[in-house]
Structure formats: structure tokens, C-alpha cells
Chains A and B, each alone.
Chain A
Amino acid sequence: MMRDTVILRVVVKLLLPAILIFALYVQFHGEYGPGGGFQAGVAAAAAIILYGMIFGIDEAQKVVPRRIVNTMIPLGVLIFAGTGVASMFLGENYLNYSPFASKPVNGQHVGILVVEAGVFITVASTMLAIFYVFGGRADEADQRADEAGKKGGEG
């Protein structure tokens, strides 16, 4: 998309690690401060999308391939739902995290972490998948316009 702007490329390269670390901070600090899986997922996806916008979608898909994204979308839901099933097997109600550790309080702690990870995975990968599809179409449109321009020039 905007591959030839030096300032953008350098600034984005500087920003990317900061955005990703902020996403992880929001993810794992969500229990103590504002944030959680949803916000962190969007932030992480935004980092990859920024990369894709500046360096081209193909480069972004080298970092996070489309197949991984497509498997991650259901994976997050499965983690969330599977947590509930696991707690049922451990003799509690669905989605009651108390039996995951020796003390119920610690169990809740573990459960929240796992469930937030599920939310994170699904949200981040869904956002990325939508961006990939839209961006892919935009690239195709560009190519078609280029071809049409060439044909017009020849004819």
C-alpha cells in the first residue's frame, strides 16, 4: 500500500514492539488494571495490521500466515468452552474455575487467565482475518486497475 515512505517505515518499526508489549501488558495486567483479552486482542491485531498497511499484506502474512489465523479463530472459542467442560469433569458447575488449583481462589485466578487467553486469541485472529480479506481484495483491485491501464495504453 504505502511501501515507499521512509519516515512511515522507520516509525512503524519503532512502534511495533511497543504496541505488542502494550497488548501483552493489557492482557496479563487486565486483572489488576483496566483491560483484558478483548482490548489486548484488538491491540495485537492492530500491530500486525499496521505492519501490513505499511509493508504490504504479503509481508504481514509471512509473519502471521493466513492458515494460522483461520485456525486461531475457533481455537479461542474452544479454549473458552473447553475450560467450562474441564471444570465439569472436575466436579463443578460449567465455567466454575474453583477446582483448577488447590485453593478455590487460586483456581479462579487460573481460570480467568485461561479464559482471557481464549478471548484474546479469537478477537485478535478475527480482526486479522477480516483485514486480510479486505486487504486482499484491495490488492486485487489494484492489480486489476493496473492491468486495465496497461490494456488501455496498448489499445
Chain B
Amino acid sequence: MVVVVIGIIRAHNLFAVVMLGGIYSFLLATVMVILDAVDVAMTEAAVGAGMSTVLLLAVLHLTRAREAPLRHAPAIPLLVCLLTGGALVYGTLDLPPFGKADNPQNQHVAPYYLENAEAETKSPNVVTAVLASYRGYDTLGEVAVIFTAGIGVLILLSRRRRREMIVEDEGGSKHDA
């Protein structure tokens, strides 16, 4: 994954960057499989490696495939990245050790779900039971988020086109939109 990220930084051809991004998503998906989070891995592979790569390729079709030259010094963004990364790493120092059974997140409602999910919902996959039944509200919110995002993109992108059509109707030969 580190190699891929360095490749993304060094590559100036945006097509290669998009492909490397897809590879990065697939590697992340395999990490999720190793962590036994198969549902998350599937989502990462489908959305991260599949959908976003396709959409970025569609965007590349609309723009140029070369990176624009930098117009400002890279020092300040680098400093911001290092500070944020450092703060996040500092934050992880306080987290409980990875995967221990008596960690707080394994003590709260997780044991209840694991013990009762199959009996109460007839669904051997606890992830589905939690997503669709126990935490149905959250999933409803998630769907609403996707709905709003989709509607927002649709409105943004189709409004521009209507204006272009008006310009074409009025001006005839004006194509500066």
C-alpha cells in the first residue's frame, strides 16, 4: 500500500493515478478480509475500486489527463498533513489494545447481538441482523444520505446543461458556455 501511495504521488499522468487508486482500494479490501470484516471488504472493493474508478475515468474523459503544474509551495500543505497525521497517531496511543475481549466496544451491546441475533432474526450473518434490524434507524439514515447525495449531484449537473441549451437556443452560434 505504501508503494502504491508513493506511486500516486510521483505519477503525473492522471490515468495512472486513477488506476493506482483502484489498486489501493483492492489492497485495503484484502486488509479488511484479513481483519474478518468481509462485508466491509466487499463494499470497499465494489465502491472504492469499482464505482469510484469508473466515475473518475468518466471525469478524466471530460478533463485533460495530465496533472496541472503546481502554482504554490508544497510546504504548507505538507505541514498541515504532518500535523493532522501526528495528532491522529497521538490519539491512537490512548486506544485500548487491538482485539482484546474486555475492550469497551466488545463489552457494550456486541455480546448481546452475537448471542441473540440468530435466534431473534433468523439471520446467521450478524452483520446483516445488526444493520437491518437492530440498528435499522442508522441504515435508514444511511440510505437517506445516499438519496440526498444522488439528488444533489443530479441537480448540480443537469442544471448546467439546461443553461447551455438555453444559450444555444438564444445565441445559435455561441459556444462559449
Partners in one complex: yes
Q: Which residues of A contact B (CB under 8 A)?
A: 1, 26, 30-36, 38-39, 42-43, 45-46, 49, 53, 70, 73-74, 76-77, 80-81, 84, 94-95, 97, 104-106, 108-109, 111-112, 115-116, 118-119, 122-123, 125-127, 129-131, 133-138, 140-141, 144, 147-148
State A32–B146 Cα separation when bound (angstroms): 25
Main secondary structure of the interface of B (DSSP, over half): helix
Interface size class of B (residues with CB under 8 A): 35 or more
**B136 in the interface (beta carbon within 8 A):** yes
- Measured CB to CB, the closest approach of chain B to A41, in angstroms, equals 9
Indicate if the CB atoms of A108 and B122 lie closer than 8 Å: yes
Secondary structure call for the A interface: helix
Let me know if A105 and B121 touch, CB within 8 A.
Answer: yes
**Given the complex of chains A and B, what is the CA–CA distance between A54 and B136 in angstroms?**
38
Can you list the 7 inter-chain pairs with the closest CB atoms, starting with the nearest?
A126-B150, A34-B38, A95-B136, A108-B121, A42-B46, A134-B58, A31-B123
Contact partner of B143 (CB less than 8 A), chosen from A42, A46, A109, A119, is A119
Find out whether the CB atom of A39 lies under 8 angstroms from the CB atom of B157: no
By the criterion CB–CB under 8 Å, are A111 and B42 in contact? no
Additional pairs, 9, CB under 8 Å, beyond known A26-B42, A147-B175: A49-B54, A80-B139, A95-B140, A108-B121, A122-B147, A122-B150, A133-B154, A133-B157, A134-B59
Provide the bound-state CA to CA distance between A112 and B117, in Å.
13
27 intermolecular pairs with C-beta atoms under 8 Å apart: A1-B61, A30-B125, A31-B125, A32-B123, A34-B127, A36-B132, A38-B43, A42-B43, A46-B50, A77-B140, A94-B137, A104-B120, A105-B121, A111-B133, A112-B123, A112-B133, A115-B139, A122-B150, A126-B146, A126-B147, A129-B150, A133-B153, A133-B158, A134-B58, A137-B62, A141-B62, A147-B175
State the B residues within 8 Å of A (CB): 38-39, 41-43, 46-47, 50-51, 54-55, 58-59, 61-62, 119-125, 127-129, 131-133, 136-137, 139-140, 142-144, 146-147, 149-151, 153-154, 157-158, 161, 175
- Residues in A neighbouring B139, C-beta threshold 8 A: 80, 115, 119
Question: What chain A residues lie within 8 Å of B153 (beta carbons)?
Answer: 129-130, 133
Does A109 lie within 8 Å of B121, measured CB to CB?
A: yes
A129 to B150, CA, bound (A): 7
Chain B positions within 8 Å of A148 at CB level: 175
Shortest Cβ distance from B164 into A: residue: A140
**Closest A residue, CB atoms, query B136:** A95
Q: Give the contacting residue for A116; candidates B38, B119, B132; CB below 8 A.
A: B132
Assess whether B51 is in contact with A127, with CB atoms less than 8 Å apart. yes
In the complex, what distance in Å separates the CA atom of A76 from the CA atom of B47? 19
| A140 vs B143: C-alpha distance when bound (angstroms) | 31
- Most chain A C-beta atoms within 10 Å of own C-beta, residue among B62, B119, B125, B143: B143
Q: Is the CB of A77 within 8 A of B143?
A: yes
In the complex, what residues of B have CB within 8 A of residue A70's CB? Answer: 154
